[in-house]
Amino acid sequence: MSIRLVEDVSDSTYVLDSLAITLTPALPRLGHQARWEMNGQLKEPVDLTRVTCDVIMKFGPAKMLDKQYRLPDLLENLGARLSGDPRPAAGPWQQTWNLQLPEAVPVAEHRILLRARTDNGQNFLALDIALNFSHRFHPPPTSGTAGSRMVHGSH
């Protein structure tokens, strides 16, 4: 069984097409860094500095966050920034971000809905992100003199 953390829910009307996302490590941990790689096709030129992102974070049925960010501000909040040309032409597009996951998130299963639009109101991308920060997947570090029994994956 494969765990799909990030699902591209955009359709043919979106500017960013054929999106592939790689998240490393596959199960990110709170307070740690995660590498986010995106590859896709832009159907038209885009000013990434003016893309707006609506971010809804749900904890069960309750909304914990419902906020709009400019893409550069959202990345900055996560310790990353745009790389390469901020106004790419149509064609192949790639971004790699090293995101710092916050520590102050309730330990639970979260669903993040990210919907981005270009400055002229066109749909840019739509992602549904499922992150499980429960102790079942990420046991807390042990305290005391005994060594931790956690298995750490390669980064």
> How is the beta sheet containing 91-100 ordered, strand by strand?
16-24, 33-42, 91-100
In terms of C-beta density within 10 A (0-12 exposed, 13-18 middle, 19 or more buried), how is residue 34 classed?
A: buried
- pTM equals 0.77
* Residues 125, 49: Cα–Cα separation, whole Å: 15
pLDDT per residue as tens digits for the range 132-150: 766 544 444 444 444 333 3
Kindly state the tokens that stand for 150. Answer: 């956690």
pLDDT per residue as tens digits for the range 66-112: 999 999 999 999 899 998 899 999 999 999 999 887 776 666 677 88
* Residues 7, 61: Cα–Cα separation, whole Å: 19
Query: What 8-state DSSP symbol labels residue 32?
Result: S
Kindly state the tokens that stand for 6. Answer: 């990030």
SS (H, E, C) 75-129: HHHCCCCCCCCCCCCCEEEEEEEEEECCCCCCCCEEEEEEEEECCCCCEEEEEEE
